[in-house]
Structure 1
Amino acid sequence: MTKKVVLIGDSITDAGRREDPNGIGTGYVKHLYEELFKNNKDWELINKGVSGDRVTDLEARWEEDVLKLNPDVLSISIGINDVWYQIDHPEMEQVTPDQFEAVYRSLLDKVPASTQLILMEPTIIEEHLGSLGNQGLVEYAEIVRFLAEEKGAILVQNYAVFMGTLANGNHPPLTTDGVHMTDAGSRLMADTWKKAAGYLFKTDK
């Protein structure tokens, strides 16, 4: 029986999936699809990214886009907009770190114990270490790490890897606008994900 892996998140996961006949998009999910799933008949990959989403938006569609699908593996990438909107749209009602943690935990609590969880740290906001967005992301990335440990989930260390890449320098542009990924940024996300979770999808066939 084919098993399902659902990847849910914001625009970085979405990456134009609705314009893609395969529903995969052009971002890190595409790299994962081509390298782990395209020729792996044991697994079906489902992209449920929605541009602009914060953790509260995931909450609104959790039943339809996660629980009804009953995935064997669930990968979650959220947090960029929760911080970015505080900078870019200060007039909006914001998702504080405490709310982010409470809502995120409540979503995880609804997932069956049989589902393998993969929690992805958020990436970056602007390609310099001291940006206001990257400072704001620190606490949200810490929450993701804490929840991963609490729930026995696989942790994908995007924030740590991207910040380390920025610190090392000598890299191609990772984003097109400080947030959305170039192909190099998507490649880095996919490689980080595979390093953490790729072993789940290996086949001996």
Structure 2
Amino acid sequence: MLSVNRSLVIPVTALLLLLAGCSTKQPRNPDSICSIFDENPGWHRDALDMNERWGTPIPVAMAIMYQESTFRHNARPPMQYFLGVIPTGRASSAYGYSQALTSTWNDYARETGRRFASRSNFSDAIDFIGWYTDKSHKINGISKWDARAQYLAYHEGWGGYRNRSYQQKNWLMNVADRVDQRAGRFTTQYNSCKDNLSRRRWLW
């Protein structure tokens, strides 16, 4: 029988858990927050860290991320074509889980000191959403529990939200309603499983 060096068990286990937290595979069931965190335990730890740092409810941040990328690490706007043939570039520089624009992401990285943060990294992306919603609260007075208003500010920017640019975009207000509804569903789901998820976290 092969002997096992017990001194290696904990470091190897920790490495496997770290790699699990870095998963870029889209969740099998993105409509269930419990399923998402059960499949990606590291994501739950990242979401808890975001909540502790910025105070944004996990279901609200996850509902925004769902709308932006459906949890795809390399999501970006579709390529645009001239005459349906010649590529002319993408509609914006949005990229990653949070679909953050390059300029806004750079502001986040500078203000938080996360120089090497990546938009295709879930931990960085959900922290970005926490940072953004926290600033929406400070700048525009939006409750961090108000998923609808938070999404409108997320999409339109703090100045656009203040000027109510979204009122001219019925399609956007409909999307914001869906984000709000999803945040409600995610809240109900999360309340049913967060204790089990937290117990797993402490066991690790």
TM-score of Structure 1 vs Structure 2, range by shorter chain: under 0.3
The TM-score normalised by the length of structure 1 is 0.23
More strand by share: 1
- Greater helix content: 2
TM-score, length of structure 2 as denominator length: 0.23
